[in-house]
Amino acid sequence: MNEDIYQAAIVEAARRGAEDRRLAAPDRSATADNPLCGDRVTIDVALNDGRIAALGYRARGCALCQAATAYLAEAALGKTPAEAASLAGEAQKAVTPEAAPAAAPWNVFAPVRAHPSRRDCVTLAFEALKCALG
Amino acid sequence: MTRFDAAAIRRQFPIFDRHPTLHYLDNAATAQMPRSVLDAVIEHETASRANVLRGVHRLAEAATAAYEAARAEIAGYLGAGDPDEVVFTGGTTASINLAAHGFGNGLAPGDEVVISGLEHHSNLVPWQMLRDRRGLVLKALPVTEEGRLDLDALDRVVTRRTRLIAVTHVSNVTGAATDVARLVERARAVGARVLLDGAQAVPHGALDVAALGVDFYAFSGHKMFAPNGVGVLWARQEVLESMAPFMGGGEMIRSVSLEATTYAEPPRRFEAGTPPIAQAVGLAAAARWVRALPAEAVQAHLARLTGRLLDGLGTNPRVRIIGPKGLQARFPVVSFDIQGIHPHDLCQIMDGHGVALRGGHHCAQPLMDRFDLAGTTRASLAVYNDEADIAAFFAGLDDALGRFR
């Protein structure tokens, strides 16, 4: 149901995701585009002792794209690049029909399972992160 | 004027039997098909299905006759003098690519082709590819703040080196209609040809290409109540005769040896392979269906609904209309941006209200850049739309505005 997609948690996270939180001096940066809709996410990563000390972003996209970006930035803090990259699996699981329930906060995207055209909105930030860490 | 009954029109479209609560406002992407078109396709495939031009058996003759009758019907719809000026293609994109190869490959390095910032990518990318193949100069007419072609720039952009002006007849984003007479006048003054992308214009009534004075006209069937997979490139006979083929294969030859091939006359020279036969039959049925509508009443009906959209959107401070805000020289395609709501979120919420809209860049990224937007939301009307569709649109809009304050 469409009603479920735009839960308060997603709208709230999207508000954070809509802010320009690019880092002034990132160690790594990458941008991912969705050519179908024109959405674009840039991820900046600052590393300290092999762990993510800060994850900055600018997400020009829909509420799903922006909410996922905000959640990613919050979840990646303190993780190693490998641990952060593995978060993509959880987000993917959240939007994949028939998959087991995803862990919080990614489970808020479960209603997207019914809307294949919106799944890439949730995973675009992870593409940018993967490029940045790659 | 014949009385217009939108409900009676709507009843002719079986899609609304399957989806009785559907408010379909995505007609600029694909329009629905009336029963008469569906019936024509089924009748053809049931009674006359065969390949065209080569067979001598009765089905082949029937299929060829139906295909050529469709060509004549489309020539009539376009106001073309000769059915052989109608080339069936796969759609507008295929039509423009055909022109870009068949006509464009005859251009010389340094020749200029003029497009515009208003174009769908299908009337932009083929010309960029031609530029790169032939060493041409590609120039663009700018777009006004109202989302129209800026024809004040004609004298500056169109020069003695211009060989072709290829622009939209009606914008698929802003709905603005091009002042073709002004464009053609400038083209004639410098000896340039004119191609119009008519994808958004043809669903709204028969044309008169002779009166328009253009040289090429491209459009798709699926936007004018016909099946997918068929489109048309119309061009003047002398232009078609001067063009080399684009694709080689069966049907487009006069004779073939292992060493060389001579080509058929137009239009077959440009119809390599088995053409979209049943689709062409469907397109002809769609043309007949549109021509049978009371044109003035339809125009008044769509203008009234478009006015309701423009007025309702225009009074909301969070909404910015991308296109003309009035009804003058515009078609029922209304694009807009809402502060704080992404087009895809709006379309998703609208879908929950049964309203089908289109959100995104509409294959017109240079136009999005012109307005500094990633995308817009677009409502586009067809003759079967009614007040209930507009009411559902505004109910959905209010819901979305409330969710994303």
Distance CA B252, CA B371 (A): 44
Q: Tell me which chain A residues have a C-beta less than 8 angstroms from the C-beta of B352.
A: 1-3
Percent with pLDDT over 70 in chain A: 98
* Residue of chain A with shortest Cα separation from B373: A38
B344, A3: Cβ pair inside 8 Å?
no
Of the pLDDT bands very low, low, confident and very high (cuts 50, 70, 90), residue A38 is: confident
Q: Which residues of A touch B403 (CB under 8 A)?
A: 6, 11
Instruction: Give percent above pLDDT 70 in chain B.
Output: 99
Considering only CB atoms, A3 lies closest to which of B352, B365, B368, namely B352
- Which among A1, A63, A115 is the nearest to B342, CB-wise? A63
Burial class (CB in 10 A: 0-12, 13-18, 19+), B394: middle
Residue of B26, B335, B338, B348 to mutate, interface with A, max A Cβ within 10 Å: B348
- Assigned token pair, B251: 């049907």
Count interface pairs A-B at CB distance under 8 A.
45
Spatial neighbors of B267 by CB under 8 A, at least 6 apart, are: B71, B84, B85, B86, B87, B88, B240
Fill in the amino acid letter for A5: I
* pLDDT class of B3 with cuts at 50, 70, 90: low
Burial class for B91, CB neighbours closer than 10 Å (0-12, 13-18, 19+): buried
- What pLDDT, on the 0 to 100 scale, is given for residue B54? 81
Minimal CA separation from A72 to chain B, in Å: 20
Q: What is the pLDDT of residue A105?
A: 93
* Three-state secondary structure call for residue B173: coil
Residues of B with CB under 8 A from a CB of A: 342-345, 348-349, 351-352, 359-361, 365, 368, 374-375, 403-404
* CB-CB contact of B221 with B40 (8 Å): no
Q: What's the average model confidence in pLDDT over B321-331?
A: 97
Among the residue ranges A81-85, B78-82, B106-110, B302-306, the one predicted with the least confidence is A81-85
Question: What pLDDT band is residue B307 in, cutting at 50, 70 and 90?
Answer: very high
Helix/strand/coil percent split, chain A, to 5 = 50, 20, 25
- At residue A2, does pLDDT exceed 70? no
The distance of A114 to chain B (nearest Cα, Å) reads: 12
**Which residues of B does the annotation mark as catalytic?**
363
The residues, any chain, with a CB within 8 Å of residue B231's CB and separated by 6 or more, are B88, B89, B90, B91, B92, B93, B94, B95, B218, B219, B220, B221
Q: Which of B351, B374, B404 sits opposite A11 (nearest CB)?
A: B404
- The answer to whether the CB of A57 falls within 8 A of the CB of A77 is no
Instruction: Read off the tokens for A103.
Output: 């862990």
Q: pTM (2 decimals)?
A: 0.94
B206-262: pLDDT as tens digits: 999 999 999 999 999 999 999 999 999 999 999 999 999 999 998 898 999 999 999
Residues from A contacting B (CB-CB < 8 Å) are 1-3, 5-6, 11, 36-40, 60-65, 115, 118, 121
Of B351, B360, B404, Cβ closest to residue A37: B360
pLDDT of residue B2: 52
Could you tell me which chain A residue has the CA closest to the CA of B369? Answer: A38
> So what's the pLDDT on residue B1?
47
Average pLDDT, chain B: 96
Query: Which residues from chain A sit within 8 angstroms of residue B374, using beta carbons?
Result: 37-40, 60-61
**Which of B342, B350, B373, B405 would best serve as a mutation to test chain A binding (most A beta carbons within 10 A)?**
B342
Q: Using a CB-CB distance cutoff of 8 angstroms, which residues of chain B are in contact with residue A3?
A: 352
Contact B172, B362 (CB under 8 A): yes
What is the ipTM metric for this complex?
A: 0.88
pLDDT digits (tens, 9 = 90+) for A62-103: 999 999 999 999 999 999 999 998 999 999 999 999 999 999
Task: Of B125, B28, B91, give the one whose Cα is nearest residue B359.
Answer: B28
CB contact under 8 A, B344 and A62: yes
Backbone angles phi and psi of B305, in degrees to 5: -65, -40
Helix (H, G, I), strand (E, B) or coil at A56: strand
Chain A nearest-CA residue for B363 = A36
Nearest CB among B349, B359, B375 relative to A6 is that of B349
**Are B348 and A2 a contacting pair at CB < 8 A?**
yes
Is the predicted pLDDT of residue B183 greater than 80, yes or no?
yes
Q: Which residue among B351, B361, B404 sits closest to A38, beta carbon to beta carbon?
A: B361
Partner-chain contact B344 A118, CB within 8 Å: yes
CB contact under 8 A, B344 and A121: yes
Report how far apart, in Å, the C-alpha atoms of B5 and of each of B11, B51, B213, B223, B305 are: 10, 40, 34, 22, 14
Distance from CA of B391 to the nearest CA of A (A): 19
Q: Average pLDDT in the B61-65 region?
A: 96
**According to the model, what pLDDT value does residue B348 have?**
95
Contacting residues of A for B368, CB less than 8 Å apart: 38
**A41: which 2 tokens?**
């996410």
Range of lowest pLDDT (B156-170, B180-194, B252-266): B252-266
pLDDT, tens only, B339-385 = 999 999 999 999 999 999 999 999 999 999 999 998 999 999 999 99
Residues of chain B in contact with residue A5, where contact means CB-CB under 8 angstroms, are 348
Tell me the shortest Cα–Cα distance from B368 to chain A, in angstroms: 10
To the nearest whole Å, the CA of A82 is away from the closest chain B CA by: 32
- How many Å apart are CA B122 and CA B129, to the nearest integer? 11
- Please check whether residue B232 is in contact with residue B86, taking contact to mean a CB–CB distance below 8 angstroms: yes
First to last CA, chain B: 46
Checking if the pLDDT of A1 tops 50, the result is no
Question: Cα–Cα distances in Å, from B111 out to B108, B178, B215?
Answer: 6, 24, 18
pLDDT digits (tens, 9 = 90+) for B385-404: 999 999 999 999 999 999 99
Looking at every residue in chain A, the average pLDDT score rounds to 93
Mean pLDDT for B29-39 is 98
Residue carrying structure tokens 């948690």? A9
Supply A83's token pair: 């641990």
- Per-residue DSSP letter, B341: B
